Structures are given as C-alpha cells and as structure tokens.
C-alpha cells in the first residue's frame, strides 16, 4: 500500500466528537457524514481537504465514542491515510474493519508539518516527508490484520472465509 498526499495536521487527543459531532449521527449516509467531518475542530476542513490528502495527528487519535461514523467520515472526505503518534483502540479497529488506512509512527507525526507533501509505503514501512526529505520507519501490521486489510475489511474477510 502506497500513499502520496498533502498533510492536514492536528494535535493530541482528537476525539470522535470533533471528528463527527453527535448532532449529525442521525444519519448513516456517508457523504452527509463527510460533509461535517472535523467540523468542531477545524470548520474549514471540508473546504480544504482534497482526494488523497494525508491526516497527521498526535497521541490518542480518535478517542471517545465507538462511532464508526468517525473513520467513515474521514475516509469519505478523501483522506487516504492517517498517521498518528497513537490511536485510541476502538478507532484503530474500526479503521481496519472498514478499510481506512492508518499507521502509528511517533517520529513522523512529530516531524511532519501541516501542508507538507508526504509519501508513505506501508508495505516496506517507510514514510517520507518529501518537503524536507526526511524518512521514518514504521512497524508493519501483524499478519492477521494485514489479511483483513488486504481483503478490504472485516465483513469481506468473513465472506472470503479468512475468519470463520
């Protein structure tokens, strides 16, 4: 999995309430959810984000509620990959289950700045800040999780007989 995009950067403890405020949870329409993505932390996010952009954030990204609407809204908004110092656990598994690419890399998330161009090669575990030329190593996902991702998500993995 390879990604190239412009970075939109946020801080620590970005919670699911600011990713998609609960007042919009009366719908499951992906496009409608995406139209309110990040609204309570960055009102201009929806205007700024372009297809393929990469989100970078600090520790405990996606903390709070279990709402899968949060990774759905991010994915549907066009974000191709989220790099964070750490992820809250429900957000982490939701992202894997719905096929939103995420990667934990403290050094990269610290160094990469808003607006930088980034290339991420998750198969080989390398993130490159093309703006500065700096590179960072990442840990590969465990095999079981790689299989879920390569099958396109959890439901697909069950349908394909990977999980019985």
Q: Which H or E run contains 75? A: helix 69-76
Which one, 20 or 49, has the nearer CB to other proteins? 20
CA distance 43 to 67: 20
- Contact with other proteins (CB under 8 A): which of 55, 65, 128, 149? 65
Specify the length of the chain in residues.
Answer: 164
**Residue ranges with strand state E in 63-151:** 81-84, 101-104, 117-121, 126-129, 135-137
Tell me which stretch binds other proteins (CB under 8 A): 49-57, 103-111, 130-138, 148-156: 148-156
Q: Which H or E run contains 4? A: strand 2-9
CA distance 138 to 140: 6
> Mask 67-96, x = binds other proteins (CB under 8 A)?
xxx-xx-------------x-xxx--xx--
Q: Smallest gap, in angstroms, from Cβ of residue 128 to other proteins?
A: 27
Residues 101-140 contacting other proteins, CB under 8 A? none
CA distance 59 to 66: 17
Under the criterion CB under 8 A, does residue 46 sit at the interface with other proteins? no
CA distance 128 to 132: 9
- Contact with other proteins (CB under 8 A): which of 114, 144, 150, 152? 144
Residues engaged in binding other proteins (CB under 8 A): 13, 15, 17-18, 21-23, 25-28, 40-41, 59-60, 63-69, 71-72, 86, 88-90, 93-94, 97-98, 142, 144-145, 148, 153-156, 158-159, 163-164
């Amino acid at each position: 999995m390879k990604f190239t995009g412009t970075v939109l950067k946020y801080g620590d403890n970005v919670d699911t309430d600011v990713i998609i405020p609960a007042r919009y949870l009366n719908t499951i329409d992906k496009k409608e959810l995406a139209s309110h993505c990040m609204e309570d932390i960055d009102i201009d996010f929806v205007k700024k984000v372009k297809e393929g952009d990469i989100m970078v954030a600090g520790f405990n990204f996606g903390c709070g509620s279990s709402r899968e609407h949060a990774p759905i809204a991010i994915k549907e908004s066009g974000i191709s990959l989220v790099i964070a110092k750490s992820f809250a656990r429900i957000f982490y598994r939701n992202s894997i289950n719905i096929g939103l690419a995420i990667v934990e890399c403290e050094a990269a998330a610290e160094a990469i700045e808003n607006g930088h161009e980034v290339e991420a090669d998750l198969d080989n575990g390398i993130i490159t800040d093309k703006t500065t030329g700096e590179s960072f190593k990442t840990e590969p996902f465990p095999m079981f999780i790689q299989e879920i991702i390569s099958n396109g998500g959890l439901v697909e993995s069950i349908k394909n007989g990977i999980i019985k």
